[in-house]
Homo-oligomer: A and B are copies of this chain.
């Protein structure tokens, strides 16, 4: 990985603040709405984060994958649950997902504090 989770988080926070300060109303509303969509409802927060993860895998967005892995782990997702989510992303999205899966696995290990 070019960036550690801490570096990734720092850039994310800095630029979110920068974008918010720019004051475009639809963009700022979109950011708030994005957060609300993952709040617990009929489906729990962990399930919603795993859904965000599978969507990020098939759309092949490493930053989004990192984000949803970290959130899913905060909501106590196990390695088995993460791997089954990876499997669905892989079968739906195809071998083009594999490079993202390698980086996702590394992120899980980093977040768990495994070398």
Contact = CB atoms under 8 A, between A and B. Distances in A.
A57 to B, nearest CB: 8
What is the total number of copies of this protein in its complex? 6
Given A48-B84, A54-B54, A55-B58, A37 B91 contact: yes
28 contacts: A15-B106, A18-B109, A24-B83, A24-B86, A26-B87, A29-B33, A29-B36, A30-B33, A30-B90, A34-B91, A37-B87, A41-B80, A41-B84, A42-B80, A47-B47, A51-B54, A51-B85, A55-B55, A55-B92, A59-B92, A59-B93, A61-B96, A63-B98, A64-B95, A64-B99, A91-B95, A93-B93, A93-B96
A90 to B, nearest CB: 6
